[in-house]
Structure 1
Amino acid sequence: MSQDFSNFKLKVDWKPAPFRGYSVRKSISQSLWTKIRKKTLEENECRCRICGYEPDKQNLRFLDMHEIERYDEENLICVLEGIDLICRRCHAFHHMGFTFSRTTPEQFDELVKHFMNVNSCTEEDFKHYFKHVRDEKFQKMLSLAEMTRIREDKKTVRYCVVGDIPFKEDVIAQLKKKALYQELT
């Protein structure tokens, strides 16, 4: 049974194993990331882009910066396409493998309720969607031997920034200084 999930605003996104633990954020200075966050908060009026959550000033920490990435697994390049400002509950779905391993059943149930609310769907819809995503991701997933070979051959995850993000030139300069920047060919 094929179902159309294109109308879902909140979706699961799993980072491929060779890229876990690597991000532009971790590869640039904290002071630059703080400047990017401040600008992103201003541009998005301190509101979650997915569910609309809008905390007061004392609770801005509940809004996360989520890097929108695509992955060139063969060349070990993480392509930064943009940055989203999203609440922690929405962010949990972008890192479902990480989230699932670190939440209690009660916390996970609350996240599922958030998912259903944001997407105006039922628990059955959630189950179908989750199975669909899981099956699709595992179908495309490289074998452990392939991932190991890529890591051994390339050794370093490199980054390319194609999206329009705040302070893009500064980000690229810092990545280049560390020999972590790779233009797409």
Structure 2
Amino acid sequence: MKALLTSLVLGSLSGAPALAGSLCGVPEAEVLDQITGEWEGAERLALDNEVTSLISETSLAVTLRPGAYVSGLTDSLTGTPASLTAATERYDVDAVDEALDAADHAVLADLVSDTPCGPEDLPQFTVTLPETPGMSASGTITLIAYFTDRILHLSDLTLRSDETVLFGTGSALLTPVQ
């Protein structure tokens, strides 16, 4: 019943079909064609340093192409698409839960819990953001493709300016733009 309710809620929220194909055990190379396109979601980003702790919410728009990741963040940092590669360091269920808890976004776990496997058996992709001169955001973004219509977007970032350094942990559930 819980899985059915989750599927119905996701279908109504994303405009996507309620039942999409699971990507359990599918190699990353085979998934790229299925996830190429425009995606959107609501990101929660926990920002922390010695004096500040806050959670920021923002709309996230991402374009995925084979080997490329484009977002407002990557465009503002480098002006070019970031490289999208198969993840070498993979998230397991505990690491996903920890990232979701850090951004106070644990509800996303329920929205992908109807997968027949854990994240370690799903296609995972990484974007590495280099440190840039001046104000910058460096770190990694990991995409875990749970289904053909749901990608978990996890950010582990360091935001720097001349005045401060913030550490950010973010999460979003991306769905195809309709």
Normalization by structure 2: what TM-score? 0.26
Normalization by structure 1: what TM-score? 0.25
More helix by share: 1
- Structure showing greater radius of gyration is 1
